[in-house]
Amino acid sequence: MTAPTDFDYALKLDREDPLADFRDQFFIPEQSGGEPSIYLCGNSLGLQPKGVRADVDRELEDWARLGVDGHFEARDPWLGYHAYFSEQLSPIVGASPSEIVVMNSLTTNLHFMMISFYQPTQTRYKILMEGGAFPSDHYAVDSQAALHGFDPKDAVIKLAPRPGEECLRDEDVLAAIEDAGEELALVMLGGVNFYTGQVFDMGAITDAGHAVGARVGFDLAHAVGNVELRLHDWGVDFAVWCSYKYLNAGPGATGGCFVHERWAMAPGLPRLTGWWGNDPDTRFEMKPEFVPQPGAAGWQVSNAPVFAMAPQKASLRLFNEAGMPALRKKSLALTDYLLTLLDALPAASFDIITPRDPARRGSQVSLKAQKDGKKLFDALTDGGVICDYREPGVIRIAPAPLYNSFADVWKFWDILRGVIGANAQ
Ligand SMILES: *Cc1c(COP(=O)(O)O)cnc(C)c1O
C-alpha cells in the first residue's frame, strides 16, 4: 500500500488521469539543468500551447499573401475575427456566442461595462466590491464613482472579512447587498478572489443584487477557465476577464466580455461607441449614425488586433477538447491531493487561507507563512518551483488541470517539506 505522501502515489494518480496527455501540448519552462520546472503559476500567466505558433503563422502568411484583402479572404477573414472566439468560449463561460466578445484588456473592458451598467442617481449610486479586490479593480471602480461626481469613500462599499478571518462569508456578502438596498446601483465582485482563491456564489449574488434593484457584474480574471460558469443562466448583467491566466493566451492577451442577452439592444443603455460595434452591414457605408450590432459585439470600439488574438485559439481548442466538467474534476482532485499533503506537515509553519469547501475553491491554494514567507518562497524558487508571492507572506500555488500533473504537486510539496525542515508525520 502506498501512502499519499509517497511519490508512487502521485505517479498512480497520473496514470489514472484521463487528461494526462494534454500536458504534452504545452511548453513547460526548463530549470537551468534542463529539467522541467514545477510550474504552479497558471493563475498568473498560463503556459504556451504548442499549437500557438501555427495559429500566429497562419495570420502572418495571410497578411503577406493578401494584404488588405485578408479582411475578407484570409482563411479566417479578419472582418469577423472576434466571432471565432465567442464560439469557443461559449461552453467555458456558459453563455451563447452572441453574449460574448473578445476585445481590449480586462480593466479596459471593466470601464466600458461600467459606463453602460453603472448609471447612478442621487439616491441609488453605491457600488459594492471586495475590500480585498485586485488593485486595478479598486482604481477602476473608484474612478467611475468619481467620474459621476461621487466621493468613492461614500459611494464604494468595500467588503471586509470578519476579524481574524481571511475570506468573506457567503451570508455576509448577501447581507451586505440587502443592507445597501435601494442605494445600491451595482454589485461588482470577483468570481474568484486573486489572493485567497475563494470562489463566490455568483448565482446567489446575482439574485440578491437583482432583488434590491441593482445590476450585477463580475470580474472573472481568476474564474474563467478555472471554475464552471453559467453566466447566462445566473442572469449576470455583465462580466469581464483576461485571457492570459488560466486561458493560456499569452502575456497581455486580448480579454473578454459578457453582456447578457437581455441587454443586447437595450435602448437607453449608454455606451462608448466606435465603428467596430456598428452593424457590419452598414459599417462600411461610413455613415455618422451609430447602429449597434446586436449582442456583446456591439460594445466593440476598434477593429480586432489579429496577432494579439490568434494565440488564444490554440488554448481554447484544448479547453473544448477536454471540456470544463472534466477539467474542474481534475482541478479539484489536484487541490484535494495538495491539501492532503499539506495536512501531513506540521501546522505551525503556515496557514491555508483558501476555503476547504470544494465549491468555494478553484485551482489555487494560498498558503500564508507564519514567518519568513519571502524566504520560504525564495527557497521554493531555488528548488525549481515557479509560483508567486504576495505580501504579507502569501504563496499562491495553482495546479492547472490542463498541464499540471499530480507529480508536480508532490514535487512541490517535497521541496516545501525540505525547506521547512519537517518530515511527513
Ligand atoms: C489579473 C487581474 C487584472 C489585470 O488587469 P489587466 O487589465 O488585464 O491588466 C485585473 N483584475 C483582476 C481581478 C485580476 O486578477
* Lowest mean per-residue pLDDT among 111-115, 291-295, 309-313: 291-295
Tracing cell 455568483 back to the chain, one arrives at 202
pLDDT for residue 286: 80
Residue 42 lies in a domain: no
**Residue 186 and residue 142 in contact, taking contact as beta carbons nearer than 8 Å:** no
Banded model confidence at residue 282, pLDDT cuts 50, 70, 90 = confident
Indicate if 109 and 125 belong to the same structural domain.
yes
Indicate if 92 and 189 belong to the same structural domain.
yes
CA separation for the pair 316, 241 (Å, rounded): 14
Give distance in angstroms: CA of 246 to centre of ligand 1: 12
Residue 297 lies in a domain: yes
CA separation for the pair 220, 241 (Å, rounded): 5
Structural domain that includes position 347: 7-36+323-424
Give distance in angstroms: CA of 119 to centre of ligand 1: 23
Residue 381 assigned as binding residue: no
Residue 46 lies in a domain: no
Residue 49 lies in a domain: no
Amino acid at 55: D
Mutation pick for ligand 1 pocket among 102, 242, 312, 364 (CB with most ligand atoms within 8 Å):
242
Mutation pick for ligand 1 pocket among 105, 110, 111, 134 (CB with most ligand atoms within 8 Å):
134
pLDDT for residue 404: 98
Give distance in angstroms: CA of 227 to centre of ligand 1: 17
Residue 331 lies in a domain: yes
Give distance in angstroms: CA of 242 to centre of ligand 1: 7
Banded model confidence at residue 144, pLDDT cuts 50, 70, 90 = very high
Nearest residue (by CA) to ligand 1, atom 14, is: 221
Residue 137 assigned as binding residue: yes
Indicate if 186 and 105 belong to the same structural domain.
yes
Atom of ligand 1 nearest to the CA of 255: 8
Determine the average pLDDT of the residues in 186-215.
98
CA separation for the pair 150, 170 (Å, rounded): 28
pLDDT digits (tens, 9 = 90+) for 340-379: 999 999 877 899 999 999 999 999 999 999 888 898 999 9
pLDDT for residue 348: 73
Give distance in angstroms: CA of 86 to centre of ligand 1: 20
Give distance in angstroms: CA of 110 to centre of ligand 1: 10
Is residue 420 pLDDT above 70, yes or no? yes
Mutation pick for ligand 1 pocket among 107, 108, 130 (CB with most ligand atoms within 8 Å):
107
Indicate if 115 and 255 belong to the same structural domain.
yes
Residue 63 lies in a domain: yes
Residue 389 lies in a domain: yes
pLDDT for residue 424: 39
Q: Give the CATH number of the domain where residue 119 resides.
A: 3.40.640.10
Residue 232 assigned as binding residue: no
Indicate if 289 and 222 belong to the same structural domain.
yes
Mutation pick for ligand 1 pocket among 102, 112, 130, 136 (CB with most ligand atoms within 8 Å):
136
CA separation for the pair 246, 92 (Å, rounded): 11
Indicate if 250 and 307 belong to the same structural domain.
yes
Residue 117 lies in a domain: yes
Is residue 26 pLDDT above 80, yes or no? yes
**Which domain-ending residue is among 318, 348, 370?**
318
In this structure, the residues whose C-beta lies within 6 A of any atom of ligand 1 are 105-107, 134, 136-137, 190, 194, 219, 221-222, 242, 255
Share of the chain above pLDDT 70, in %: 99
Indicate if 28 and 164 belong to the same structural domain.
no
Residue 219 assigned as binding residue: yes
Atom of ligand 1 nearest to the CA of 252: 8
Indicate if 358 and 258 belong to the same structural domain.
no
pLDDT for residue 283: 78
**Which domain-ending residue is among 303, 318, 333?**
318
Structure-block grid coordinates of residue 215? 445590476
Residue 244 assigned as binding residue: yes
Atom of ligand 1 nearest to the CA of 106: 7
Residue 410 assigned as binding residue: no
Indicate if 310 and 373 belong to the same structural domain.
no
Atom of ligand 1 nearest to the CA of 108: 7
pLDDT digits (tens, 9 = 90+) for 40-90: 999 999 999 999 999 999 999 999 999 999 999 999 999 999 999 999 999
Atom of ligand 1 nearest to the CA of 137: 11
Nearest residue (by CA) to ligand 1, atom 2, is: 221
Give distance in angstroms: CA of 241 to centre of ligand 1: 8
pLDDT for residue 268: 83
Q: Model-level pTM?
A: 0.96
* Lowest mean per-residue pLDDT among 197-206, 229-238, 278-287, 392-401: 278-287
pLDDT for residue 423: 41
Indicate if 242 and 337 belong to the same structural domain.
no
Cα-based angle 194, 197, 200 (whole degrees, multiple of 5): 95
Burial class (CB in 10 A: 0-12, 13-18, 19+), 338: buried
Structure-block grid coordinates of residue 61? 502568411
Indicate if 183 and 233 belong to the same structural domain.
yes
What is the number of domains present in the chain?
A: 2
pLDDT digits (tens, 9 = 90+) for 85-106: 999 999 999 999 999 999 999 9
From residue 247, how far is each of 132, 170, 208, 352 by CA, in Å?
Answer: 23, 27, 29, 25
Banded model confidence at residue 267, pLDDT cuts 50, 70, 90 = confident
**Which domain-ending residue is among 261, 290, 318?**
318
Indicate if 183 and 229 belong to the same structural domain.
yes
Q: Give the CATH number of the domain where residue 372 resides.
A: 3.90.1150.10
Tracing cell 472576434 back to the chain, one arrives at 82
CA separation for the pair 385, 391 (Å, rounded): 18
